[in-house]
Amino acid sequence: MLDNSACFGTAAASGVARSPMVPITEVEESPVVPNPGESAQGPRVYVFRARDSEAHIAQVIKFATMLREGAGIDADLPEWSPPQRSDQVIDAIAWSDEADFILVIASPEMKRLMDSMHPGDPEGVIGAALARDSLAENLPRTLKKMLPVVLPGRAITDIPRMLAGYSRRPYVISHIDTEDPRVQDLLRVLRNSPLHAKPSQGPPHPITQESNPPHSADTPPPVLNVILCAGETILLNDQRLLVHNGVELPGGEGGPEVLRQAPAMLIGEPHEWVWLKQVEQKVQCSGELFASLAAEYELTEEISRDQEAVPRPLALLDEDRTRTLVLSWPRRDEPPKRFATLADYTPYPDELDSIVVRRTLAALAGLADPLTALHRRGHSHRELAPQSIVRIDDENLALRDLGASTRTPVPGEHATYPAPEQTFRGRGRIGPWTDAYQLAAVAYHQISGHRPRDSASLPVRQVCPVAPEAACTAIDAALDPVPARRPTVADLASAFRK
């Protein structure tokens, strides 16, 4: 066992006074000399924000004021425009055309406006439409001009997808202060002031030829990697682990943080089988996924005290730029012969009879207790699928991990059986009712051999004539696109046992 370680527009005339530019500092807070010819007048910057709340507007005003008064940037906001009545469309076009940079303030409402055509505040709707048009006209140029800014209390997930918040650098502000490192990074972009001056190029240096050194028996062994790679041996906290095939990337490879997960075996006694969830931090960022692993460790530790159908947390390890959560592989008495999940036992339709169907439903009912324990603590799994459910034997199943329970729920999040509210088209909140939908989707697949369709799935009775009536009714209800009409996971389990 491992030990636990560790918006658009020009800067219109404004009544806000402008102070001299604040010097950009090095990471070590030493001053940077401006490049030759750098103007003492800040660039024209428009701060584009959505009206999420009065508190959000107040925070944006504080940020824009810091840019003007503290950093000498010619920043502007709609709140600082003259009070006379004007044409919002003409104003927005002027702002978009004349601004050197547009700082898009990330927020849920901003993401909704820019990534959809849903109605909203007219000013925001117009600005979002102009943003989409500019991106379609010239994507590379607009992405350089339109910079996503994440203010304190917001997350990278609030950045509109069209601004490429993961593949291109976002500006995640920790403190609205000119000394904040990310504010410094933003000021460098606004002033086109690199962190270090490029040195002059020297003359070519002669290249020497060197023969290959002879092989030595004393050559040290290769350094083992800490990143999860299928079929590779990795080293975590001085413990070697063999990573099996099937490394999963729920959020893909893009972004400042990458989540990988895979089964592995500890090399050496007791040859324990484990499940690894690892976050690699590629660039400096808010560390949201890092924090979610620590929260999952604590949550799993709490729930596993009373629930058998969840793994035991073995370690939380920080190595280089990674954090790895090590979980035991759920089992009964004997070590498993292989990593078996429900995905390995998805039947063909002609393999099912009433006995198998009833046994499958009863086993799935056993997942209600750990899921209910999760719900009581204000969390939801949101990643229930055959591959995330461990098959211990014919009658017992367990959760492989707690899924996305400690990550902030957002529309468009990864799921094998996404509930309607998890899609970008969904308007409902994500919560325990999402787990009820996914548990019903798993049951539908396992007792019929047919994957439920994203919409208008056939009634269970049609795809599985031998299923008990109570289970058919409960599964059909749980697959309802309206969350409020779904039963709870406890109600599903009760129907599965009848």
Compute φ and ψ for 142, nearest 5 degrees: -70, -35
Mean pLDDT across the stretch 124-144? 83
DSSP 235-272: EETTEEEEEPS--B-TT-S-SSEEEEEEEEEESSTT--
Residue 328's DSSP bridge partners are 274
Fold category of 223-337 in CATH:
Phosphorylase Kinase; domain 1 (3.30.200)
Compute φ and ψ for 295, nearest 5 degrees: -65, -35
Mean pLDDT across the stretch 79-97? 79
The span from the CA of 66 to the CA of 179, in Å, is: 11
Nearest to 11 by CA among 91, 71, 88, 66: 91
Q: Which pLDDT does position 287 carry in this prediction?
A: 86
Query: pLDDT, tens digit, for every residue of 416-435?
Result: 999 999 988 777 899 999 99
Q: Does an H or E element contain 104, and which? A: strand 101-105
- Collapse the DSSP code of 81 into the 3-class scheme (helix H, G, I; strand E, B; otherwise coil) and give the result: coil
Question: Largest alpha-carbon pair distance within the chain?
Answer: 84
Query: pLDDT, tens digit, for every residue of 368-426?
Result: 999 999 999 999 999 999 999 999 988 999 999 999 999 999 888 889 999 999 988 77
Nearest to 191 by CA among 65, 28, 73: 73
Q: Which pLDDT does position 37 carry in this prediction?
A: 40
Q: Which pLDDT does position 36 carry in this prediction?
A: 39
Residue 11 has pLDDT above 60, yes or no: no
User: Which token pair is 207?
Assistant: 């290249």
Mean pLDDT across the stretch 224-240? 87
CATH number of 340-498: 1.10.510.10
Average model confidence (pLDDT) across the chain = 83
The span from the CA of 425 to the CA of 437, in Å, is: 16
The number of beta carbons lying within 10 Å of the beta carbon of residue 356 is: 15
Q: Which pLDDT does position 22 carry in this prediction?
A: 53
Question: Model confidence at 335, in pLDDT bands (50, 70, 90)?
Answer: low
Q: Where are the beta strands (DSSP E) in 347-394?
A: 389-393
Query: pLDDT, tens digit, for every residue of 178-207?
Result: 888 889 989 988 988 877 777 877 778 777
Mean pLDDT across the stretch 223-250? 87
Residue 327 has pLDDT above 60, yes or no: yes
Helices (H) and strands (E) in the chain, counts: 13, 13
Residue 343 has pLDDT above 70, yes or no: yes
Residue 224 has pLDDT above 60, yes or no: yes
Among 64-73, 91-100, 155-164, 332-341, which stretch is predicted with the lowest mean pLDDT?
332-341
Residue 121 has pLDDT above 80, yes or no: no
Among 16-30, 164-178, 213-227, 298-312, which stretch is predicted with the lowest mean pLDDT?
16-30
- Collapse the DSSP code of 193 into the 3-class scheme (helix H, G, I; strand E, B; otherwise coil) and give the result: coil
Structural domain spans, the chain: 44-191, 223-337, 340-498
CATH number of 44-191: 3.40.50.11530
Mean pLDDT across the stretch 297-323? 93
Nearest to 243 by CA among 227, 257, 254, 258: 227
The answer to whether 370 and 402 are in contact (CB under 8 A) is no
| Sign of the torsion angle spanned by Cα atoms 287, 293, 294, 299 | positive
The answer to whether 158 and 150 are in contact (CB under 8 A) is yes
The span from the CA of 134 to the CA of 323, in Å, is: 39
Q: Which pLDDT does position 180 carry in this prediction?
A: 85
Query: pLDDT, tens digit, for every residue of 260-284?
Result: 999 999 887 767 889 999 999 988 8
Q: Which pLDDT does position 17 carry in this prediction?
A: 41
Question: Model confidence at 81, in pLDDT bands (50, 70, 90)?
Answer: confident
The span from the CA of 420 to the CA of 91, in Å, is: 38
Classify the phi-psi angles of 240: left when phi > 0, otherwise alpha if psi is within -120 to 50, otherwise beta.
Answer: beta
Q: Give the predicted TM-score (pTM) of the model.
A: 0.57
